Structures are given as C-alpha cells and as structure tokens.
Amino acid sequence: MKLRMLLAAKLVVIVVAMASLGPSKAQLEPCETSCGNVSIEFPFGLREGCYHSPDFRVTCDQSSGQPIPLFRDSNVVITNMSTIQESELEIKAFVASDCYNATGPAENTISSLNLSDFRISSKNVFVAIGCDTGARIRGRREKGYWDSTGCITTCGSNNSSDIPSASCSGVGCCQVAIPKGMSSFQILLQSYNNHRNMLDFNPCSYGFMVAPGKYNFSTNDLRDFGSVEKMPMLLEWAIGTEICEEARKNSSSNFLCNGNSECVEEYGGPGYRCRCKDGYQGNPYIHNNCTNINECERGVCKHDCVDNDGGYECRCPKGFSGGDKKDGTGCIPDKLLVTQIVLGTFAAAVFLLIFVAWLYLGLKKRKLIMLKEKFFRQNGGIMLQQRISGEGSSHHDQAKVFTVEELQRATNNYDETRIIGKGGYGTVYKGVLSDKRTVAIKKSKLVDQTESQIEQFVNEVVILSQINHRNVVKLIGCCLETEIPLLVYEFISNGTLSDHIHNESRSLAFTWDIRLKIATGTAGALSYLHSAASVPIIHRDIKPTNILVDDDYVAKIADFGASKLIPMDQTELATMVQGTLGYLDPEYLQTNQLTDKSDVYSFGVLLVELLSGKKALSFDRPENERNLAMYFLSSLKEGRVFEVVSEHLLLNEGIIPSEIINVSRLAERCLHVKGDERPTMKEVAMELEGILASMIEKHPWVQTTSNEEESEYFLKHVPIDHDFEFTDGAKASSSTFDSMSSDTIITNC
C-alpha cells in the first residue's frame, strides 16, 4: 500500500514538472499547425492547450471554403506567422476612403484597429493617396497617450499623366513613419476642395497602414484604388506584461525562455521575448526546440571543421598550426626554413617599402589636389565664379573662401553638440574662427548632387554676397573643397522670431514695442531687397522661422536658398511655385508668376502672427480658424479683430488700440488676393516706421535704435506680472502632422 502511494506521488510530481515546462514538442504534435496556407506556431494555437494564453488564440474560419486564419475571434485576417523569431505577425487592415461626386461628398469608409496586448509595428508606414487630400492617423500608446501624424498630398495638375509613378513624395501620394508602441489607431481623411476639377481621374482620397515593401504607388491608383479593401501590415507581440528579469523571478514555472533559448534583454517591454542562442535554431518558445546548427555543413572553415554544441572550431591540417579558429585561415607550416625566408622577405620588404612610400606621398598629394578640384566643380565653384564676375561684384562684396581645415577646427570637427539648427536645405553649426569671431556654419544636405541643389547653393552665395543691410544676416564666406558645400554667416544668438512668438514663456516678455520694431526692421530689409539692391531680389519664403533675432531684438532675414534675382527690365518671373503653406501668395500659387508682391503677402501673414501669437496654419484649431490669414480677414471684416489679437498684448499697460487697428489694416492690405491691390514693401516699411515713430512720441520710454544700449535696457527689463497666465486658445500638440502641415514646401510645375 505504501509502495503504491509512493509511486502515485512520484507520478504527480512528474506531471506537474512537465506542465511547468510549457508545451513540449510531444504535446504540440496533436495540435493543428496550419490554417489554409498559413503556418501556426506556438505560442499561437487554434484550440485550448495549443496556445500559451487566450491572447495568442487563432480562429480558423472554414466558411469561405478556403480556410482563413483570424486573429482571436475578430475579423482580422492573418496572412503570415513565419517570423516567430522576430515576434511579428502580418495581418490585413482596412483601407480608409473619402469619396466625392459632382454634388459633394458621396461615401467614405473608416479604418481603425484597437488592440489590448499586441502593438502595431513601427516598421509600417502610413500612406495617403489623392490629389486633394489631408490625411492624419491618430494612435494610442502606453498609459493612454495619443500621438498624431500625417501628410498632405496634391497633384498640381488636372492631368494624371503629369504625375510620376513609383514616387510617394507628396504628388498624388505621400507617406510618413508612425510612432513606436501604438496599440490602436484611427485614420482621418479630408478634402480641401471636394476633389473638384479632378473627379474624372481622382474622385476619392485613400489612407492606410502598410508593411514595408508591400506597396508601390501607381498613377492608376488615383482612379482605381477603391477596389482594394485591405492592405498588409505588421503587428509585434511579446509574452505577458513583465520584462525578462521580472518574468524570470515572478513566474519561473511559466517562463518560456528555457534551455538553449534566451530572453531578449534589449527589448524593453511590455512583456518579454525569446530567441535561440547563437549556434542554435528552432522555435525559442517551445522547451528544448532550439537545436544545434551544424556550421560545418555550410563550409565555414578553409580546412578541417569540428562542430560543437552551439558552435564550431576550425583546425589547421596535419603539419600546420596557428590560424584563425573562425575560418581556418592563417595556418603556417610547423617547420620552416626561417633564416632564408626572413632574409629574403626582409630584403624584398625594404625595397618595396621605399618604393611604396615614394609612390604614396606623390599620389597622395596629387589625389588631394584633384579631390579638392572635383568638389569645387561639383559644388558649383565654376558657376559661382561666372555668376559673380557676370554680375560685376566688387572685391569688397566677395565673401571669404575658407579651407576645409579652418572650418573643421572652428566646429571641433562638426561635433553634434555644436548643432544649433536644422532646415530644409541643411544643418547649421556654431563655430569659432581663429580670429575669435563666433559664426554660424551651414552644411547643405547631401541627398543627391542635382543641378537644382547646386543652383540653390550658388544662388544663396551670390545673393548674400551683394547685400549689406543691418536687417539681413551677413554672409562671411564659404567653402567649396568638401563633398558637402558650406556657408559661413554671422552668428545670431537669440533664436528665431518663431521661438519668441510661439514659445509661451518667451512670448510673455515679447512686448508690443519689440514686435513693432521687428516688423519695421523686416519690412525695411524687404524694401531694400525689392528696390534698393543692385538687382531686385524676391525672398520667396518669408516666415518667422527664417527671421533671426539678435540680443538687441534686431530682426535679421535669413535662408535665401529659395530666393530669385529679378532682371531690372522685368516685374514678374515665371517659375515653379515654392514656399510654405500658410504663407504662399494665392495669386502666385495659381499663375506661377512670381512678383515682389508675393513677399508682401507673406509679410502680411507675418504681421498677423505678431498680432495674434498663433501659427499661420494649424489643424488643431477649429476649421474656420485653421488658416490664420483667412480667419483674421473675416474677423476684421466683422469688426472682431481684437478676438484675434494675442490676449497678453491687450492686457499690456500703455498699449493704444489704435496702433493695433493701424497695423491690422496694413496687414489687411498686404493680404489682398490680387497682387496689384497690395502695397509695395517700401510703402509698408514707411507706414510701419510712422506707427513706430508715433508710438515713441506717445511713449517716451520707447527708444529708437540711435541709442542701442538704453534701448537694450528697456527691452530686456520689461516688467512681467508673475500672476498672469496666458493661453492662445490653441490646443498644444507636438504631432508630426501639425509640423508638416505648417512647414510643407510646395513645388508646382
């Protein structure tokens, strides 16, 4: 009797021990391992006892005649489960659409996905298709945080043949990366013009999440993509909610990374992942399923190979020794005629060394000269010389040409800590020259050396070398000896105008007189560029991020990469549309005819930003307020202009409402749709100077620039009520979509 009880107890212990190890290979054999043409591997399974937990249950739908695996009990179709080692799962996700007909909105479909324990892989990309489309994807991450990103796509033409296929860069198609760790998402689509004038070839907007390499844009998709209901996308998963160390301690009986399987320590959760150790292969989530790889069968060794458990060893053949254990190279004979070999090798080596050294020094010097000449030509040096000589620049106007070594020393070899800004055409570093001058060094982006990119670089050098104005950033020099062309500017230490307007802590100290002074200085500089420069210059991208502010609050216009020189006998220039959404002249956008009135419109938007403290374009605001210029004009027309003006400006002691009204009326004239109805920048500058002079007369504490030290004192010591709390009413957001919406570069043939 005692013997039977002892045997029964041992049997219970064995069963419990086997259960604690998770499903073994023997246990998984009766489980179905496929559904249709999709393999089902543990920790996933089709029935209880075959999966690790209900989170990994797969349903095999037989109703369609062709078995289809579904994610849990939902209608999400699984298309691939073969990447167990990478903890990824491929599914089909719905495509969102927004369609229109001649009378307006026709139909739309919504695409969303809500997961509890799985995550949406950041390898996926968000794609939008359409000629009149604003697309956004909102996703929830850990702790309930929501992120938002998106893009805008236009066509710039009513003919689909003008749209390039296989390019998803904003013309007919755009795509953006998605944030990491999203557990759910929702796709939102909108049309700005109801696809008007393009219903025959693009009546709909589409948006979807897609796995990398699973979609290539075609112009046919603008018309026929509606037949595609779903697109493949990746999910990523892990076991439980505890990371490796916590899971190993708290649930050792259910911990799946055992035997030759190890926990992925670099994965930061939630949950943990397993992988086979180096030298093993198999399913790391099944106990003892990671088996040894016989590397010797793969021919990894040059000579003899010995396979070990989890590795291998390369050995030299008989009569040789040494060598590399990984590939078996470097084996040497055991007995060598050392003396003869050493003497012969030494003599040959000395002769060869002398010859190579002589040849190397000569070739190195020649190569260095040729490389610098190559980069000089590649970076537009010849074009720059022709432009400067052809336009009659004096020696005084010409910028200094720096050597590579000078700028490397100035930036500590372009250390990342010296980066002070990144723009559409490159990165800006802070540097200190040998004469102790602090400068800003702009390194253009090296995407491809196209003729257009070189021309933009040369254009900026020529324009800035001809300008000497206190409200325009000063070009000190350039360097053409490197693969990436460089420009050297004076260093402006107080950030951009955008920093002061849209940063709440800075905007409180950014008083009305400072704003008016910056507006007047910017207008004066644009007036100089349009009418006083040797050749009229249109900036073409006036916005707060391109206006620098020094310590005395003097405005400095920067970034002339998009600017155009206008011949003296012309008043307009046909060119590709280029600029930033929210600031673009609508007449220029429609006609492709660039005039100096295009800068006037952009300056009008800048004036409204100074008045309101709001961004020119924001999709976080109500629909009628998204475009700041349009909202401002409608408010002015309805007599509600003070609703647009920044609240803390209105509360500023001593400010006179008539000054706000005068500047608002000036901004209204600058924002006329027709360029002929707008004032010139010279007229704008004169009117602003008059308003500023009147304000100084009424407020004697406001100083002109003739006494900079006293002006600096008053501007930097404006009293701030610390009990005052300011909000511009806009919803704060750091989403990629808002950033792209406000700073998109438009190019239209």
The answer to whether the bond into 23 is cis (omega within 30° of 0) is no
DSSP 8-state secondary structure symbol assigned to residue 450: -
The whole-angstrom separation of Cα 94 and Cα 71 is 14
DSSP string, 147-171: EEEEEEEE-SSS-GGGSPTT--SSB
The token duo for 556 is 């400095």
Burial class (CB in 10 A: 0-12, 13-18, 19+), 583: buried
CA distances from 325 to 151, 292, 312, 321, 335 (A): 53, 19, 9, 11, 21
> Cβ distance 614 to 728 under 8 Å?
yes
User: In terms of DSSP H, where are the helices of 31-146?
Assistant: none
The token duo for 609 is 């930003």
> Cβ distance 582 to 616 under 8 Å?
yes
Burial class (CB in 10 A: 0-12, 13-18, 19+), 45: buried
The H or E element that residue 80 is part of is strand 78-80
The token duo for 538 is 């249109």
DSSP 8-state secondary structure symbol assigned to residue 748: B
Residues in Cβ contact with 179 at an 8 Å cutoff, skipping those fewer than 6 apart:
122, 139, 141, 147, 149
Q: Is 541 a catalytic residue?
A: yes
Which residue's entry shows tokens 């695996």?
A: 69
Judge whether 443 is annotated as a binding position: yes
The angle formed by the CA atoms of residues 340, 345 and 350, to the nearest 5 degrees, is: 135
SS3 544: helix
Q: What are phi and psi of 97, to 5 degrees?
A: -140, 155
The whole-angstrom separation of Cα 749 and Cα 747 is 7
* Of 311, 338, 333, residue with least CA distance to 323: 333
> Cβ distance 242 to 129 under 8 Å?
no
Active-site choice (541, 596, 738, 743)? 541
Residues in Cβ contact with 448 at an 8 Å cutoff, skipping those fewer than 6 apart:
none
User: In terms of DSSP H, where are the helices of 171-304?
Assistant: 221-224, 244-250
The whole-angstrom separation of Cα 439 and Cα 431 is 5
Annotated binding site for ATP: 443
Annotated binding site: 443
Catalytic positions = 541
